[in-house]
Amino acid sequence: MSDLLSPATERATSHAAPAPTFAVISGAQVQDALSGHEEQIVRLVEATYRLHGAGDSVNPASYFLRFPDRPTARIIALPASIGGSDHVDGLKWISSFPANVTSGLPRASAVLILNDHDTGYPFACLESSIISATRTAASAALAADWLSRDRTRPARIGFFGTGLIARYIHTFLAGTGWTFDAIGVYDVSADSTAGFSGYLKQSGARGRITVHDSAEELIRSSDLVVFATVAGEPHVTDPAWFGHNPLVLHVSLRDLAPRILLGSANIVDDVEHCLKADTSPHLAEQLTGDRDFLDGTLDDVMTGRLTLPTDRPLIFSPFGLGVLDLAVGKYVYDEVARAGQLRLIDDFFHDLRRYG
């Protein structure tokens, strides 16, 4: 038998792929990569929405892991794949445990796994609660911009729910040039209200800050209403509160009774995703038996396929797409790599030779 390699074996040996690497990126590194880059991240989220709208993505339905012994808690898997110039696949694994708040921990925690487009090998694990909050806030700021272009730009904003997501949304609005004459605050938790009001003052927010005693008072006095609660079912039920036709960022998805949506113009990020899991739009679909109450998607607005009415409340209900997490996560990875600060785990992958 000849000692020479066969041509096929020789080619495989000479063109062997380099051993894959695996990096772990901490929350501190994520924060450093994203802080102060609000405008850039909003542009990235816009580009990702456009890719998704053009069909250059894969974004399956999210999977909800629920627990009989912990009915308020859940862990959600968001797999996705994104095209464009940064081909990347991956998965966000995010938990929501509202009871954490009573012990001083944030409600949500998450990791994001990035997979190589060509080999499928995971190449990074990133702390992702910050990435998730960032893409949510950037999406909200993007929607506020596009959905107010045919309306008088809101001068009075109201935050219904004053946790971490509300803080991130305010940061992204401020970081993309928004200012307000008045900022309203309402939460069922006095501690949360006080904490958020303190953040607003420390951030240098302009405008009069008012803590409202009721949800109705907040909504009626706001041109732009941000819902960022942990509500599991609708608790705002009176359409008359929205008689002044505000722009509503319904980020928490389950605050509004279906009849409020039925009297409004409705924009979502993705129709199939949003009409699931007993969101307010999903309940409206179940009530009416159709989807006629939906006007379209944010991508429809950005591409000019849809002109929005101005004589009704306008509600943006974003389910939250995994492709946004991938885009922001890949941005973070590239920034950390560019700074030479990737923490590679030596020999994370083992036994890479097919026959030992």
The pLDDT, as a whole number, for residue 50 is 97
Where are the domain boundaries for CATH 3.40.50.720 in the chain? Answer: 134-320
Closest by CA to 79, choosing from 94, 66, 90, 87, is 90
Q: What is the pLDDT of residue 10?
A: 39
User: Which CATH superfamily includes the segment(s) 20-131+323-338?
Assistant: ornithine cyclodeaminase, domain 1 (3.30.1780.10)
Torsion angle of the four alpha carbons 165, 166, 172, 173, in this order, in degrees rounded to the nearest 10 = 150
C-beta of residue 159 within 8 angstroms of C-beta of residue 210:
no
pLDDT for res 92 = 98
Query: What number of residues does the chain have?
Result: 356
Per the CB < 8 A criterion, the answer to whether 166 and 195 are in contact is no
Superfamily, domain 134-320: NAD(P)-binding Rossmann-like Domain (3.40.50.720)
Range list for CATH 3.30.1780.10 in the chain:
20-131+323-338
Q: What is the pTM of this model?
A: 0.91
Q: What is the mean pLDDT of each run of 10 residues along the chain (356 residues)?
A: 38 59 97 98 98 96 94 95 91 94 88 96 97 97 97 96 96 97 96 96 94 98 97 96 98 98 98 94 98 98 95 97 97 98 94 82
| Closest by CA position to 320, among listed 354, 270, 256 | 270
Provide the pLDDT for residue 17.
Answer: 64
- pLDDT for 340 equals 97
Q: What is the pLDDT of residue 48?
A: 97
Tokens found for residue 33: 């990569």
pLDDT at 16: 58
- In 89-189, which residue ranges form alpha helices assigned H by DSSP? 129-147, 164-175
pLDDT at 355: 85
User: Which contacts of 192-200 are long-range, i.e. CB under 8 A and separated by 24 or more positions?
Assistant: 192/162, 192/163, 193/162, 195/162, 196/159, 196/162, 196/163, 196/166, 196/167, 197/162, 199/167, 199/170, 200/170
What pLDDT shows up at residue 353? 83
